[in-house]
């Protein structure tokens, strides 16, 4: 009788520990992945928020603070307009495809969309520090509004 109750207690303890460990691991995994946001993910998130229209406002502020030049702001806004037109054109192209074609196209091209600010740095429009400053400004606008 005593051996059975000890076995039962041990099995219950192991089961409880297993459940606790699996719940803890799942909670850790979900928070760890959200804490490791890349710059690209942050940029996409920032630009897709309802404050996307605030890009010019944020850039104007950075021009006043002498963190970017007026010429750089103009080039950034022109590039944003160009990218928006390209996305619109791509959406129109997708409308004419069948479901299978659309899935295939998206699977092939989903990684080809670049990071907006990284592209601006690569084109020499802004430097990395300015890119980081713009993203930071946009993020603060999104989180404070």
Q: What is the pLDDT of residue 42?
A: 55
Q: Are residues 26 and 83 in the same domain?
A: no
Q: Are residues 94 and 31 in the same domain?
A: no
User: Which residue shows structure tokens 């928006």?
Assistant: 84
- Tokens (6 digits) for 57: 């406002």
Q: What is the pLDDT of residue 40?
A: 52
> Mean pLDDT across the stretch 19-26?
70
Q: Are residues 71 and 137 in the same domain?
A: yes
Q: Are residues 21 and 84 in the same domain?
A: no
User: Which residue shows structure tokens 């710059």?
Assistant: 39
Range of 114's domain? 37-144
Contact partners, residue 109, CB within 8 Å, separation at least 6: none
Q: Are residues 73 and 127 in the same domain?
A: yes
- Buried b / exposed e along 33-68 (16+ C-beta atoms within 10 A): eeeeeeeeebbeebbebebeebbeebbeebbeeebb
Q: What is the pLDDT of residue 55?
A: 84
Query: What is the tens place of the pLDDT at every residue in 27-51?
Result: 666 554 444 445 555 555 555 554 4
The structural domain count of the chain equals 2
Query: What is the tens place of the pLDDT at every residue in 67-111?
Result: 999 999 999 999 989 988 888 888 888 888 888 888 888 888 776
Q: Are residues 25 and 65 in the same domain?
A: no
Q: Are residues 48 and 29 in the same domain?
A: no
Burial of 76 (0-12, 13-18, 19+ CB in 10 A): buried
Q: What is the pLDDT of residue 32?
A: 47
Q: Are residues 63 and 48 in the same domain?
A: yes
Residue 112's pLDDT band, with cuts at 50, 70 and 90, is: low
- State the number of CA atoms in the 13 A half-sphere of 103 facing the CB: 3
With a cut of 90, say whether residue 124 has pLDDT above it: yes
Contact 142, 53 (CB under 8 A): no
With a cut of 70, say whether residue 134 has pLDDT above it: yes
Query: How far apart (Å, rounded) are the C-alpha atoms in residues 97 and 102?
Result: 6
């Amino acid at each position: 009788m005593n051996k059975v109750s000890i076995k039962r207690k041990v099995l219950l303890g192991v089961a409880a520990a297993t459940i606790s460990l699996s719940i803890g691991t799942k909670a850790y995994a979900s928070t760890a992945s959200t804490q490791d946001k890349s710059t690209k993910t942050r940029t996409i998130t920032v630009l897709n928020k309802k404050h996307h229209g605030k890009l010019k406002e944020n850039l104007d502020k950075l021009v006043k603070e002498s963190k970017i030049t007026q010429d750089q702001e103009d080039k950034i806004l022109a590039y944003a307009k160009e990218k928006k037109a390209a996305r619109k054109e791509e959406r129109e192209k997708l409308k004419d495809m069948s479901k299978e074609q659309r899935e295939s196209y998206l699977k092939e091209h989903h990684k080809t969309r670049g990071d907006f600010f990284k592209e601006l740095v690569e084109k020499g429009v802004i430097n990395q520090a300015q890119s980081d400053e713009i993203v930071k400004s946009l993020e603060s606008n999104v989180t404070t509004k």
